[in-house]
Structure 1
């Protein structure tokens, strides 16, 4: 199969560009930013928005993770204080809840060493035995004890020292009896500070993702520009309108094939001439929709040439197949199909008329010859021979015409046969109609019959 060359470059770059500019102007689309610029801006907006959302969600997730970490740290501080022997012994012995006591002293030492905002020791009566605010020592807490189940607990506390990550641990005396609860808290300012320290790292990741996305968007824009041959959206829209108007507004069938010989475009005229439908053939190969024969071989390029004639059951078609390339890249093939049925029929009728004219001319010539012969006999005075000749010639042709008319019902066919017999007689050939020949007054396919007889 021939490959497309310069002569087959049907859609030249400059010519295609001219078509598209005119199409875009005709549909009335305003020319804005280039397609690559639009894609880049859209992708950038999407990346920025998604990056901001992701950064926010990641920050919230990091904050929640830090909250859990500080709550666990508060639980560890409370457990450490609950394990102090001095606190355990004093609480089991029922030491008074007074500022400066043993419990207060040890709890403050633990608080200072751990960086907690408070370490509060509470007995089973919910009386505070230690607190950063000495005025609250000896007073009862409002909330119930949560460590009566013997397990540690963590959460967020909004007590007198402000919002903090809170951890609570059960307090057992030296005998192993539950004697109270230790509550430790880490101020929220520490958690917030830790979050702010993590934000630059998170921002770096978000910026890196944004840069990668931006580079990908640039590559995508360039790729799309290459695929669309540098055309803008308005030009593509104009091209589509022009193509639809051209395909369905012409009286020639058009079929387009992609490089893999699959049908990509077929217009209404081609559907009518080939007896196919767009839904049936779109994306299919001709081998799957047409039987083997001259028509399929011409359409697929197996039989090459210009203005190839193909006869189908209903049409006489003239087929041309041309390769299509743009910027040196092979795009496929375009096949045009023209219906020559009416023209061929008219040419056949013209041939029949020419045959009748030739027959009339032959009859006129034969009649002239007979008149000259008869005049010569009369001039020679051979009247008997002249009479015999006149009788013979007068009865021969009418008899043949009557025999044809008796078996052939249609007048046009009768006239054609008699005319052909006259032409044959002029050329020394005798035309005989077989005895079994019969034709009705309204024969089917009269035009084709006249063509064959002629």
Structure 2
């Protein structure tokens, strides 16, 4: 459980703050909505009562008694009773009938009958009109209809008004229903807000806003402060976190929201990041680094949150281990020479003890010429002393183990070959692999043997290593150069499965090619192109700043 920060108990909980905020928002919006709805409803009621007033005015204009009084001699004596009758039946506040001169023939106030109206007649166009009237009877919804005479001409106007209190009374009768609906909506919104607050609380694992902000700051400080690459993935496999060290080691910049397949080429590194390749402490070689990759799924409270990948730079450590293996190889070679020298001394002592002085002399001369002969045979074909020392040392160690290493007669390498550092690593690793393969193969008539060929021309350097071992299986030709591919278990000081992968990357780094045969007796062929022009000093160009170009024995055998 993540501890709460000091002072959190005095603050309101996140779910409470969210609920209170949403309830306040819902309450304000409900009131605003209620007011707007009442305003719209008031407008609709005004329109409805205006149309009712117009309908009443048309009924009054068609009343025979009113028409007779307006067209005959009855006048107001006939019109006023009819208008009062219609107003009472329609619950209108007034029914006013005027002639074309604007003279009233009916009105709720009898003293206004016979007087002219102030405004002009609106129905001279022969159509009905509606509006809000601010007359002597107060505010009312008004409707005006033309009064037609026997000849079909407009002879007057009928104006009907319905008092404002009728409209307001209708609105007040409807408002409780509207308020009930608004209350129901508010209650439903509060319930949804409460459920949302609970869900957000579960999503944040009960953390409050201050705790989430603090954890984010701590995470950023930790991720960008450690010397280990960290990459986090969500459940769908997209990158959610990548720190500065991971960007440097993986050489990726804009990776957030993308999958490994979108930012990395196909290979062992991408398979290790996306989980295709399982296991712990996976060793991966890139163009610049030797990395150890670990991928761990993240599960919290039974929920799968994705995975976290850690990437550690082991380039320097692997380089030191390879140098240690190189020193160990030289030590083994010296130990073998010491052992061989002790045997020869014992033979000489025995011959002298037996008095075979002539035989002892001949054996001493023969033994003295063995090592110089081996070194001289290599130096005749290889001019570079480092390469000569590597081949002689490998031959001595291999001979101690029962494997014969021979240099082909067509070999020819100059004193300062181009790509020397890379060439030493390539030859050392291929010879180590070939010796291991020759030892694991079935006994042959010629014994366990390895043949090395080095040929330098004007345009390229060719390396060919053949062994008498069982060879490379046909289904492994495509995967033999991948990181970690090996048929033998790891040793104490170094991981297996890196030698051929390292050779492959060095060859590609120098723009060369590498091939391998399938079937019995593996044959590895490497071709390194030479630069077109020498450097200004006349010396060959350096092999490049590749951290894996180490001279001596590679020691990573497949």
Normalising by the smaller structure, the TM-score range is: 0.7 to 0.9
Contact 2:333 2:393 in 1 (8 A): yes
Which structure shows the higher helix fraction?
Answer: 1
TM-score, normalized by length of structure 2? Answer: 0.67
TM-superposed CA distance for 1:209, in Å, is 0.9
Distance, in Å, in 1 between the alignment partners of 2:426 and 2:404 is 25
TM-score, normalized by length of structure 1? Answer: 0.81
- For each residue in 1:139-177, what CA deviation from the matched residue of structure 2 results, as whole angstroms up to 9, or x when unmatched? 221211111122221111112222211111112234544
Establish whether residue 318 from structure 1 lines up as the match of residue 292 from structure 2.
yes
The 3 A distance-change label for structure 1 pair 448 and 255 is: farther
The counterpart of 2:322, out of the listed 324, 348, 352, is 348
Distance, in Å, in 2 between the alignment partners of 1:302 and 1:294 is 9
- Equivalent runs, 1:274-293 vs 2, <5 Å: 274=250, 276-279=252-255, 282-284=257-259, 286=261, 290-291=265-266
- Equivalent runs, 1:105-144 vs 2, <5 Å: 105-144=81-120
Residue ranges of structure 1 left out of the alignment (5+ in a row): 1-13
The counterpart of 2:411, out of the listed 412, 437, 445, is 437
- For each residue in 1:303-357, what CA deviation from the matched residue of structure 2 results, as whole angstroms up to 9, or x when unmatched? 5433333445554443333332111223333333333333222111101111222
Contact 1:254 1:334 in 2 (8 A): yes
Residue 375 of structure 2: aligned partner: 401
Distance, in Å, in 2 between the alignment partners of 1:60 and 1:433 is 104
Question: Mean alpha-carbon deviation: is it higher for 198-207 or for 327-336?
Answer: 327-336
Residue 7 of structure 1: aligned partner: none
- For each residue in 1:425-451, what CA deviation from the matched residue of structure 2 results, as whole angstroms up to 9, or x when unmatched? 667776543323344424151445444
3-state SS in 2 of match to 1:154:
strand
Establish whether residue 330 from structure 1 lines up as the match of residue 304 from structure 2.
yes
Distance, in Å, in 1 between the alignment partners of 2:127 and 2:404 is 129
Contact 2:260 2:270 in 1 (8 A): no
- For each residue in 1:401-447, what CA deviation from the matched residue of structure 2 results, as whole angstroms up to 9, or x when unmatched? 34433433443332233334444566777654332334442415144
Residue 184 of structure 2: aligned partner: 208
Question: Mean alpha-carbon deviation: is it higher for 365-374 or for 150-159?
Answer: 365-374
Distance, in Å, in 2 between the alignment partners of 1:222 and 1:404 is 81
The 3 A distance-change label for structure 1 pair 180 and 428 is: closer
Distance, in Å, in 2 between the alignment partners of 1:75 and 1:431 is 120
Contact 1:30 1:234 in 2 (8 A): no
Contact 1:110 1:119 in 2 (8 A): yes
Residue 86 of structure 1: aligned partner: 65
- For each residue in 1:112-142, what CA deviation from the matched residue of structure 2 results, as whole angstroms up to 9, or x when unmatched? 4433222211111111222222332222212
Contact 1:316 1:340 in 2 (8 A): yes
3-state SS in 1 of match to 2:155:
strand
Residue 280 of structure 2: aligned partner: 306
TM-superposed CA distance for 1:88, in Å, is 1.5
TM-superposed CA distance for 1:111, in Å, is 2.8
Residue 48 of structure 1: aligned partner: 27
The counterpart of 1:416, out of the listed 390, 393, 411, is 390
Question: Mean alpha-carbon deviation: is it higher for 151-160 or for 57-66?
Answer: 151-160
CA RMSD of aligned residues (A): 3.5
The 3 A distance-change label for structure 1 pair 430 and 262 is: closer
Question: Mean alpha-carbon deviation: is it higher for 54-63 or for 82-91?
Answer: 82-91
Establish whether residue 35 from structure 1 lines up as the match of residue 21 from structure 2.
no
Residue ranges of structure 2 left out of the alignment (5+ in a row): 432-552, 554-558
Contact 1:352 1:450 in 2 (8 A): no
